[in-house]
Amino acid sequence: MLVLVANLGSTSFKYRLFNMDSGDCLARGAVERIGDDESRCSVTIGDWSDTMVMPVPDHGVAVAACLQQLTDPQHGAIRDASEVAAIGFKAVHGGRMSGTFVVDDDVLDAMAEMNAAAPAHNPPYIAAMKLLRQRFPDLPLVAAFETEFHRTIPDSRSTYAIPKTWTDEFQVRRWGFHGASHQYIAERMAELLQRDDAKLISCHLGGSSSLTAVRAGQSVMTTMGMTPQTGLPQNNRVGDFDPFALPLIMQRTGDSLDVTLQRLASEGGLLGISGRSGDIRDLEQAADAGDTDSQLALDVYVEEIRRHLGGMMVALGGVDAIVFTGGIGENSRRVRRGVCADLESFGIVLDDAKNESADGEARLSSDGSSTQIWTVPTNEEWVVAKRAMKALGRHAT
């Protein structure tokens, strides 16, 4: 069984093709600049890579271009598009539908209800899904929502202190995101620790970041809330923020609510603090050159991670392993060092040499640390592919 996993942006289509019987990733690729006369369609299959430049007006044409490359007569991963059993989407917010579902009108309606909570994510997915249903009516589409893994968080940690009707009628609660990544880390750490009852803190750190506390493979606390805007400072998104500051900001700037929120979503986060960049690599380089605002951005980011880390250690009653994943988590020795600094009294001791030399999956804790520290590359697409296959099985019966 072959499953194509899609990760969509408003002008992009990134994908991986999995053989679900072997677990192998047969191909990966991307279509960029959708809507442009010179869109780039790239694919890698084994040692072979190919790039086409062609007009790609919409996501439906992007999928057709992807299938054309995958079925290349000489190098293709498949003979015919009919070999693909489904397209699985790493969908973001379904509100009342938090799980994995074969896409139908009800799924699309549920996503549309959450457009205001995920304006950068849901509309492109909805538009693409509608197009693909029209162009490939026999190809099942499956939405695996990022909120699914967090359905096990207790109400006491997912309920806001707001009027109850807002919670009940408008689905305003802490949903949590990056679910596929945190689920992969939970599953992989169960293998590495050779136990399924471990208490973990999964640190997904990248352009978009979140922490999740995991007990026995289930999410019990997470940093993101109603929207992907909340929790840790993001690349250029605000993170946690006092909403009662909005009237003052709007009064002083003269901006509307929509404009103010857009600025928080695009000019906030690490970019907002530094005034330079939201990319950790740029900030580390600038901080080393003496830029104090870049150093402040790094300090705020690390302190927020540590604040949530401490709360999760209390919620778990201790922690067996702290796991760093995502582009920053896997590659920034500086951030890992800052997060783990001075935690020896909690049994968390980072080995500096291991931290400096780590590459890929590696244990970073010292021999005397009672809590293990790891870097583990995530594989969200594999989790989505497994969810899609399970949903198809339920759908078929």
Range 327-341 average pLDDT = 98
380 is in an annotated binding site: yes
Q: How confident is the model at residue 186 (pLDDT cuts 50, 70, 90)?
A: very high
- pLDDT tens digits, one per residue of 259-288: 999 999 999 999 999 999 999 999 999 999
**CATH 3.30.420.40 holds for 2-145:** yes
- pLDDT tens digits, one per residue of 296-329: 999 999 999 999 999 999 999 999 999 999 999 9
Picking from 77, 72, 74, the residue whose alpha carbon sits closest to that of residue 15 is 77
Neighbours of 98 (CB within 10 A): 20
Residue 48 forms beta bridges with which residues?
Answer: 45
327 is in an annotated binding site: yes
- Do 149 and 219 form a contact (C-beta atoms < 8 A)? yes
Neighbours of 53 (CB within 10 A): 13
280 is in an annotated binding site: yes
- pLDDT tens digits, one per residue of 144-159: 999 999 999 999 999 9
Asked if residue 396 has pLDDT above 50, the reply is no
Whole-number average pLDDT of the chain: 95
76 is in an annotated binding site: no
Establish whether domains 2-145 and 195-380 are of one fold: yes
Domain ranges of the chain: 2-145, 195-380
Superfamily of domain 195-380 in the CATH hierarchy: ATPase, nucleotide binding domain (3.30.420.40)
7 is in an annotated binding site: yes
CA 306 to CA 157: how far, in whole Å?
A: 18
SS3 annotation, 255-278: CCHHHHHHHHHHCCHHHHHHCCCC
279 is in an annotated binding site: yes
List of residues 6+ apart from 293 with CB closer than 8 A = 273, 274, 275, 276
281 is in an annotated binding site: yes
